[in-house]
Amino acid sequence: MRYVIIGNGVAGMEAAVALRRRDEAGSITLISEESDHFFSRTALMYVVCGQLAHKDIEPLERDVYDRLRLQRVRARATAVDVERKAITLAGGLPEVPYDKLLICTGSRPRPAPFWDGYETLKGIGHLVTLQDLDWLHRELHGAAPFDAPERPTAHLPHSTSDSPYQPRSTATEARGRPPQSGTVIGGGLIGIESIEVMLAAGLKPSFLIREEWFWPIALDKTESAWVAEALRHHGVDVRLGHNVQGFEGDTHGVRTVHTDQGSLPAEVAVVAIGVVPQTGWLAGSAIERQHAGGILVDPSLRTSAPDVWAAGDCAAVRWADGSVRPEQLWYTGRDQGRIAAASMVGDDTTYRRGTLYNSAKLMDIEYTTAGLVNAGLEGEEEWFFEETGRVRSTTRLVTQGGAVVGFNALGRRWDHSLIVRWIEERRSLPWVLDHLHHARFDTEFVPPLVIPASARPTP
Amino acid sequence: MDLQAQQGLMSTYREAWRNRGVVGWVASAALVTFYCLLYWTDLFDGVSVAVGLRNKWYLYGLIYSIGMSAGAVYYLRRHGNSRYNQLRMAVNVSVQIALGWTLPFVMPLIGQPEFYFGYFWPLKYDYLYPHTLQSLPVYLAVYTVVGSLVVAPAATIFFGKRWYCSWVCGCGALANTFGDPWRHLTSPSTKAWRFEKIAIHSVMALAFLSLAVVVAGQLLNFKSDAFYQFSESVKSWYGFGISAVLAGVVGTGLYPLLGPRLWCRNFCPMAAMLGVIQKAGRFRIRVKPDMCISCGNCTTYCEMGIDVRSYAQSNQSFTRAACVGCGMCAHVCPRGVLRLENHFDDAADKQRQGLSAVDY
């Protein structure tokens, strides 16, 4: 049996490990243009600031490919011939035949209407790929990361010029000095990570957010105001309700960012307005996709083509609310990789996503969420508590028809798994508040959250 | 304000002196030289007397306390927003200054022996030798025997070995303070773990064996002179090889090259013994299910070279013999996935995993 996986990311690697566990003899091949080694994309920011080295963000020891006999092809896949069961590679490399194929090509940055791309101005980029990491590190610190691998070009004699994995030159090199101003466009998680690495490099960047407050998909106005306060405390120029219109600069790179409310200096800019499925390369292949790009899959993650599966950010799966779209999360990528592998070896298995949950760190503020918040449910009500004093925290519970359906908390650590269960068990608000201390996950010696009777909901 | 997570970002890998750069090598060479001169020359005796300290060990204790206090300031600047870290540093520095330096200096002034209350057998390898116990006043002999054989193991059952290795022990405290800049240099590789298991358990076996030989030699010396001579040479070779070379010269001298817990992780017989007890005790690191993003901060900043991420990404709460419970993995985790705890209530755990949520 010849298993081929396109994409060496979390879904692909998880699938490869699961396949090997089930099939001792089959050949397993991973095709990746980006990297020789599986790495944690969620950790890119830590390498940019120097908190971690390249090697630290690799979750498995490098000998895993040898130990599990996983072959690697470092190349860019350009099409799948589902009739002949073969994958075409860029640069005239020999085709890769498969018996069963898994597509895990993940996401690529969402194209920005206000930016023409790398060719026009130096100093502008994303923070999504290893090459972005290399670029931003050189932009901010004037040198490649501590243990950067050989420049990626060495591996990619056949890469195409439109590939997002092309290494790029920096404005810092052209200008002969590091940037003195920076900007980040896009009020989401990658945006705030980019802000943090710029702060760590000594810049006081501007943060250009189109919406009325930071990360409205996850936070309400009060919660977001705390994050904005933390940002401003560190010297970030937070600009809400700003629409970026374009960049201006010279041969040395970008100098200015123009918005609908004036211009700001920017000698380095990170565009972080989200990601879209990286499936454009399947345009000529007989594999059905959504209009937005997500590969359509059935509950066992099979695509429309025989013996072809898809998992991770590039696959459009059915959510708990019934909608069909990609789930761009780390743990869902892992789950999908595992389920796809089980389906590929013939298990009768289905991918079912229950209550959504997630966590993040926004500057220094920890964030935990579960269930439906900011969903605008019919008849929803909210209970909100702000703790001040030795510990600062916020807790927000959304109820609908008497049952808790959503949880959003900042400032403390919570065991989401219990809260998810309470939501699924349709617990009432008073019940959840009475039992909330069971879900504490604070470090030792942190005083517990005390909710005074006056702040409790009246029965 | 009290925030648990790391604040700001670290620039660990952009500082050459912390990454085996020239300064790192020079610092290591200087530390090794210092320990060789301290252990095997009289150089520091003269200096000690000149500054009014009775011998070189008091001078060493003073330098040790200063190094630890300076390191604690560095540590708290990086990680001091967490209550766990604040308390731990306060206890570490107090123990060193009070029990590691002041009391041993003061006691001889009032006719008592120079005694280190912060150390126990088998770290202080001679504390259970019959001749040592005979030379101590009864209250100190009782303190030593009960402390080493009853209190230390019992406390480890309840709190893990961290109560000693990260809160009391002078070696551990120096590693956590003065050695903190280099904590990411401890190797998390499987190879390093394999070496650790062989090395540390060999030293533990040596500690037990040498104690048995010395006890036999000192108690039976009237029967066999040759055996007594042998036991005395075992004693001095153990002291030279384990305490001077491995704990001092190698263990501390190589901080800037191999990380600060080289001794604790690979050679300390006390850490080995408490580690075995810890495995059977109540301390654990709890992992929140399916929340790990495999970023690697925990593994990188684990000073004991434990691949914490491998447990976190497989949703496995765990207790590793090596873990000294410094709390750094939980501190640097950007998703709050890890929690150090002494779990007393297995029933609550079972309910957490079971189907019924009604009863808790």
Say what the pLDDT of residue B343 is.
83
In a domain, A352, yes or no: no
Q: Which residue has the tokens 């290591």?
A: B28
Pick the closest to residue A396 from A226, A188, A222, A227 (CA basis).
A222
Say what the pLDDT of residue A321 is.
78
Mean pLDDT in residue range B214-242: 85
In a domain, A119, yes or no: no
Q: Which token pair is A266?
A: 């920017």
**pLDDT band at B222, cuts 50/70/90?**
low
CATH number of the domain where residue A251 is located? 3.50.50.60
Three-class SS state of A459: coil
CA A64 from centroid of its chain's CA atoms = 24
Cβ atoms of A271 and A126 closer than 8 Å: yes
Same domain, yes or no: A157 and A261 = yes
Integer CA distances (angstroms), A305 to A83, A256, A333, in order? 9, 47, 21
Asked if the C-beta of B4 comes within 8 angstroms of chain A's C-beta atoms, the answer is yes
ipTM over 0.90: yes
Mean pLDDT in residue range B40-54: 88
Q: Which of residues 182-241 of A touch B (CB under 8 A)?
A: 196-197, 199-200
Say what the pLDDT of residue B77 is.
92
* Nearest chain B alpha carbon to A425: B357
Same domain, yes or no: A163 and A23 = no
Q: Is B75 left (phi over 0), alpha (psi -120 to 50) or beta?
A: alpha
Point out the residue among B9, B184, B291 whose CB comes nearest to the CB of A416: B291
Pick the closest to residue A121 from A12, A269, A2, A16 (CA basis).
A269
In a domain, A115, yes or no: no
Same domain, yes or no: A11 and A96 = yes
- pLDDT per residue as tens digits for the range B155-192: 999 999 999 999 999 999 999 999 999 999 999 999 99
Other Cβ atoms within 10 Å of A39 Cβ, number: 27
Contact A50 B12 (CB under 8 A): yes
Pick the closest to residue A167 from A184, A189, A183, A145 (CA basis).
A145
Cβ-Cβ pairs closer than 8 A, A with B, add up to 156
Residue numbers in B near A334 (CB within 8 A): 290
Q: How many domains does chain A have?
A: 3
**Torsion angle of C-alpha atoms A54, A58, A63, A67, degrees rounded to 10:** -170
Identity at A309, one-letter amino acid code? W
Same domain, yes or no: A422 and A397 = yes
Mean pLDDT in residue range B285-301: 95
Range of the domain at A282: 2-109+276-344
Intervals of chain A under pLDDT 50? 151-155
Same domain, yes or no: A264 and A282 = no
Last residue of a domain, one of A344, A372, A392: A344
Residue B273 contacts by C-beta under 8 Å, 6 or more apart in sequence?
A: B122, B153, B204
CA of B195, closest CA in chain A: separation in Å? 17
DSSP class of residue A414 equals B
* Nearest chain B alpha carbon to A143: B14
Same domain, yes or no: A429 and A295 = no
Residue numbers in A near B190 (CB within 8 A): 61
Point out the residue among B14, B84, B335 whose CB comes nearest to the CB of A445: B84
Contact B297 A359 (CB under 8 A): no
Which of A219-228, B217-226, B342-351 has the least mean pLDDT? B342-351
CA distance B228 to B240: 18
In a domain, A349, yes or no: no
Three-class SS state of A245: strand
Say what the pLDDT of residue A159 is.
59
Strands A77-81 and A268-271: unpaired
Identity at A190, one-letter amino acid code? I
Same domain, yes or no: A177 and A243 = yes
CA distance B164 to B326: 11
Residue B351 pLDDT > 60: no
Asked if the C-beta of B314 comes within 8 angstroms of chain A's C-beta atoms, the answer is no
**pLDDT band at B358, cuts 50/70/90?**
very low
CA distance B195 to B273: 17
Contact A46 B357 (CB under 8 A): no
CA distance A160 to A143: 25
Residue B354 pLDDT > 60: no
Same domain, yes or no: A195 and A249 = yes
Residue B215 contacts by C-beta under 8 Å, 6 or more apart in sequence?
A: B128, B129, B130
Q: Which of residues 90-149 of A touch B (CB under 8 A)?
A: 141, 145-147
Strands A275-277 and A107-109: antiparallel
CATH number of the domain where residue A377 is located? 3.30.390.30
CA atoms within 13 A on the CB side of A256: 9
ω into residue B122 within 30 of 0, thus cis? yes
Residue B204 contacts by C-beta under 8 Å, 6 or more apart in sequence?
A: B122, B269, B272, B273
Last residue of a domain, one of A244, A272, A300: A272
* Nearest chain A alpha carbon to B81: A364
Task: Give the H or E element holding residue A182.
Answer: strand A182-185
Q: Which token pair is B261?
A: 């817990």
Say what the pLDDT of residue B359 is.
36
Contact B84 A46 (CB under 8 A): no
Q: Which token pair is A113?
A: 């209407």
Say what the pLDDT of residue A147 is.
80
Last residue of a domain, one of A318, A344, A370: A344
What is A59-98 written as a DSSP string? SS-TTHHHHTTEEEE-S-EEEEETTTTEEEEGGGPPPEE-
In a domain, A84, yes or no: yes
Point out the residue among B11, B81, B309 whose CB comes nearest to the CB of A50: B11
Same domain, yes or no: A24 and A146 = no
CA distance A311 to A301: 7
* Nearest chain A alpha carbon to B13: A50
Residue A225 contacts by C-beta under 8 Å, 6 or more apart in sequence?
A: A213
CA atoms within 13 A on the CB side of B260: 25
Same domain, yes or no: A297 and A226 = no
CA distance A133 to A118: 15
Residue B64 contacts by C-beta under 8 Å, 6 or more apart in sequence?
A: B96, B100, B101, B170, B174
Contact B4 A361 (CB under 8 A): no
Contact A42 B295 (CB under 8 A): yes
Cβ atoms of A356 and A371 closer than 8 Å: yes
Asked if the C-beta of A446 comes within 8 angstroms of chain B's C-beta atoms, the answer is yes
Contact B339 A443 (CB under 8 A): yes
Asked if the C-beta of B220 comes within 8 angstroms of chain A's C-beta atoms, the answer is no
Same domain, yes or no: A70 and A203 = no
What is B125-172 written as a DSSP string? TTTTSHHHHHHS-HHHHHHHHHIIIIIHHHHHHHH-THHHHTTT-HHH
In a domain, A81, yes or no: yes
List, in order of start, the domains of chain B with CATH numbers.
282-347 (3.30.70.20)
Contact A52 B297 (CB under 8 A): yes
Asked if the C-beta of B360 comes within 8 angstroms of chain A's C-beta atoms, the answer is yes
Point out the residue among B11, B15, B84 whose CB comes nearest to the CB of A443: B84
- pLDDT per residue as tens digits for the range A291-312: 999 999 999 999 999 999 999 9
CA distance A195 to A48: 11
In a domain, A308, yes or no: yes
Same domain, yes or no: A144 and A259 = yes
Residue numbers in B near A357 (CB within 8 A): 291
Say what the pLDDT of residue B53 is.
86
Asked if the C-beta of B291 comes within 8 angstroms of chain A's C-beta atoms, the answer is yes
Cβ atoms of A443 and B330 closer than 8 Å: yes
Average pLDDT, chain B: 91
Say what the pLDDT of residue B347 is.
56
* φ, ψ (nearest 5 deg) of residue A51: -75, -30
Residue B33 contacts by C-beta under 8 Å, 6 or more apart in sequence?
A: none
CA of A249, closest CA in chain B: separation in Å? 29
Residue numbers in A near B330 (CB within 8 A): 443
Cβ atoms of A309 and A303 closer than 8 Å: yes
In a domain, A337, yes or no: yes
Residue numbers in B near A412 (CB within 8 A): 4
Query: Which one is predicted more confidently, B81 or A52?
Result: A52
